[in-house]
């Protein structure tokens, strides 16, 4: 376990509460949160570098923009899987996929990333954007261990997340205070992303930092 785990804010809400929250905001997610998440998410997808013919997974696919982007890249010989806790998010994403004519390349499931419903050594690439932060601190190694299990040899994982790495700033401290006081409103919290992947046995291929509303974000690609 990471030494820094003790300094990461805990997540106290239940899976049922999380599911209910994302079901409730699913129709308004894009204007509420999707817009400001889009740039780092696009950068993460580019750095993951999914190729034609590969098999990819997005964990916490939300309203489906990442699923569509991945399906366009893998082509007719590839396949994209998605897993999300929210049934309403799944319905929205399935509708989006159907409208793009890519349904034959996509398989969506409701489920929990702490126990991925896939065989070992199945995926070439896995993508997570502003999702790992939603898991309680002791669950993060479990989620990453599951990712490592289902990745093929030399398969890769990209995680986009708010970051706790580096010197604290008043903006980050204020955001973490807001998360502690209003966890339903600010449900993501900063993590030590690269260190978490390495602790799970993944080798860092690339680590990028950027600012989002003056909050630090890590975009880390690791390989099995």
User: What whole-number distance in Å separates Cα of residue 52 and Cα of residue 196?
Assistant: 29
CA angle 159–5–216, rounded 5-degree value: 45
Q: Which of 87, 79, 191 is nearest to 135 (CA)?
A: 191
What single-letter DSSP state applies at residue 9? P
pLDDT in tens, 1-21: 344 444 788 888 899 999 999
Q: How far is CA 213 from CA 66, 140, 188, in A?
A: 21, 25, 14
- Order of strands, edge to edge, in the sheet holding 203-212? 106-110, 79-84, 55-59, 123-129, 151-162, 215-223, 203-212
Number of domain units in the chain: 1
Q: How many CB atoms lie within 10 A of CB 103?
A: 13
Decide: helix, strand or coil at residue 212: strand
Mean pLDDT throughout 67-76? Answer: 98
User: What whole-number distance in Å separates Cα of residue 205 and Cα of residue 210?
Assistant: 17
**Domain containing residue 148:** 3-223
Instruction: Identify the pLDDT of residue 2.
Output: 42
**What's the sign of the alpha-carbon dihedral 137, 142, 145, 151?**
negative
User: What whole-number distance in Å separates Cα of residue 11 and Cα of residue 216?
Assistant: 20
What single-letter DSSP state applies at residue 33? I
DSSP states of 80-129 as a string?
EEEEES-HHHHHHHHHHHHHHT-GGGEEEEE--GGG-SS-TT-EEEEEEE
Q: Which of 82, 67, 68, 73 is nearest to 53 (CA)?
A: 73
Mean pLDDT throughout 190-194? Answer: 95
Q: Read off the CATH number of the domain in which 208 is found.
A: 3.40.50.150
pLDDT in tens, 78-128: 999 999 999 999 999 999 999 999 999 999 999 999 999 999 999 999 999
Q: For the whole model, what pTM was predicted?
A: 0.91
The residues, ordered by sequence, that sit 6+ positions from 198 with a Cβ below 8 Å of its Cβ are 204, 222
Phi–psi pair at 209, nearest 5 degrees: -120, 145
pLDDT in tens, 124-161: 999 999 999 999 999 999 999 999 999 999 999 999 99
The pair of structure tokens assigned to 197 is: 């992947």
């Amino acid at each position: 376990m990471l030494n820094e785990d003790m300094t990461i804010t805990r997540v106290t809400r239940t899976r049922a509460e999380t599911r209910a929250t994302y079901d409730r905001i699913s129709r308004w997610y894009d204007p509420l949160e999707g817009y400001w998440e889009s740039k780092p998410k696009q950068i993460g997808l580019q750095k993951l570098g999914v190729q034609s013919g590969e098999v990819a997974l997005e964990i916490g696919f939300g309203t489906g923009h990442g699923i569509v982007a991945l399906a366009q890249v893998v082509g007719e010989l590839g396949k994209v899987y998605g897993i999300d806790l929210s049934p309403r998010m799944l319905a929205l994403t399935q509708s989006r996929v159907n409208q793009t004519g890519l349904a034959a390349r996509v398989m969506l499931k409701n489920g929990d990333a702490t126990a991925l419903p896939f065989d070992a050594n199945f995926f070439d690439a896995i993508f997570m954007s502003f999702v790992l932060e939603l898991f309680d601190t002791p669950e993060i190694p479990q989620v990453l261990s599951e990712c490592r299990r289902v990745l093929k040899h030399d398969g890769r994982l990209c995680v986009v997340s708010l970051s706790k790495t580096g010197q604290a700033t008043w903006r980050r401290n204020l955001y973490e205070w807001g998360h502690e006081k209003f966890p339903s409103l600010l449900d993501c919290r900063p993590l030590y992303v690269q260190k978490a992947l390495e602790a799970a046995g993944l080798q860092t291929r690339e680590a990028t930092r950027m600012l989002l509303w003056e909050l630090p974000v890590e975009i880390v690609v690791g390989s099995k």
